Amino acid sequence: MADDIDGARPAGPRIPTVIADDVHIVYRVNGGSAGKGSATAALSRILRRDKGESRGVRKVHAVRGVSFTAYRGEAIGLIGTNGSGKSTLLRAIAGLLPTERGRVYTDGQPSLLGVNAALMGDLTGERNVILGGLAMGMSREEIRERYQSIVDFSGINEKGDFITLPMRTYSSGMGARLRFAIAAAKDHDVLMIDEALATGDRKFQIRSEERIRELRKEAGTVFLVSHSNKSIRDTCDRVLWLEKGELLMDGPTDEVLRAYEKETGR
């Protein structure tokens, strides 16, 4: 378990916020075409069908037996090469994917902030702030109070009045900044951020890293998926390293990143 390296964790007993107990996640994909074309593959498909297996459904075992306990005040980085199961694990913690085996226990409602978080492209940034706020359970009054600070935090209006344009006209970085600003306006029990920092520019990254540190002090738990080792180093005190769906390492940021960098050469 990681020791606190910068004193952000509140004193007193450690309170668990997320417990993953031997979690397995399996996707079922329709229309897969395993070995299509070869006579043996066709024969084995027919035999499988005879055994009652549904036609054309392939399974992807994306998370394999992951267990860990996260505590209040921790910022935990999730690292691993492409397709290692990071986003899938976050979605399972958020309750968006069922576990095939094992359980996820959470204290409070985890909020998942992905770069693809579902705001509406045809609505203006302004309307999306309201929509996002309502979706997070804020009242209209709370949204009105925080509206300006959300827009200021996002920096969307720094170069002109963009907040009144439809969100589909934003660059990917602008969209990610607005989504982060909306999610960060609320104190979360468990906030999960999927790559959001990587898309903003450096100035915005510094601002969002600052906000992550604040959220930790307010006793939430933050999970951050990122391919930027620097973002992970700057914000997290503990890191989970996933590879092929398995938890390879769980420990203090420096220790895990050093091993990861040695293994992957980056």
Q: How far is the CB of 101 from ligand ATP (least distance, A)?
A: 16
Residue 79 to residue 231: CA distance in whole angstroms: 11
Name residues whose C-beta falls within 8 Å of residue 49's C-beta, 6 or more positions apart in sequence. Answer: 55
Q: How far is the CB of 124 from ligand ATP (least distance, A)?
A: 29
Candidate list 82, 160, 202, 262; residue touching ligand ATP; CB under 6 A? 82
What character string, x for contact with ligand ATP (CB under 6 A) and - otherwise, covers 34-73?
--------------------------x-x-----------
Integer-rounded Cα radius of gyration of the chain: 21
C-alpha distances out from residue 64 to 10, 97, 156, Å: 32, 14, 40
Residue 112 to residue 89: CA distance in whole angstroms: 11
Candidate list 9, 64, 72, 86; residue touching ligand ATP; CB under 6 A? 86
- 111 forms part of the interface with ligand ATP (CB under 6 A): no
Candidate list 15, 29, 34, 206; residue touching ligand ATP; CB under 6 A? 29
Among residues 67 and 116, whose Cβ is nearest to ligand ATP? 116
Among residues 88 and 106, whose Cβ is nearest to ligand ATP? 88
Residue 122 to residue 210: CA distance in whole angstroms: 31
- 87 forms part of the interface with ligand ATP (CB under 6 A): yes
Residues 8-27 that bind ligand ATP (CB under 6 A): 27
Q: How far is the CB of 249 from ligand ATP (least distance, A)?
A: 15
CB 75 within 8 A of CB 240: no
Candidate list 73, 80, 155, 220; residue touching ligand ATP; CB under 6 A? 80
Residue 106 to residue 100: CA distance in whole angstroms: 17
Q: How far is the CB of 264 from ligand ATP (least distance, A)?
A: 12
Residue 227 to residue 194: CA distance in whole angstroms: 10
As given in the structure block, the two tokens for residue 215 are 């959220």
Stretch that binds ligand ATP, among 16-24, 83-91, 108-116, 164-172 (CB under 6 A): 83-91
As given in the structure block, the two tokens for residue 258 are 């050093």
Minimal CA–CA distance to 249: which of 65, 79, 3, 25?
A: 79
Which residues sit opposite 63 in a β-bridge? 25
- 88 forms part of the interface with ligand ATP (CB under 6 A): yes
- 77 forms part of the interface with ligand ATP (CB under 6 A): no
| Residues found near ligand ATP in the complex (CB under 6 A) | 27, 29, 60, 62, 80, 82-88
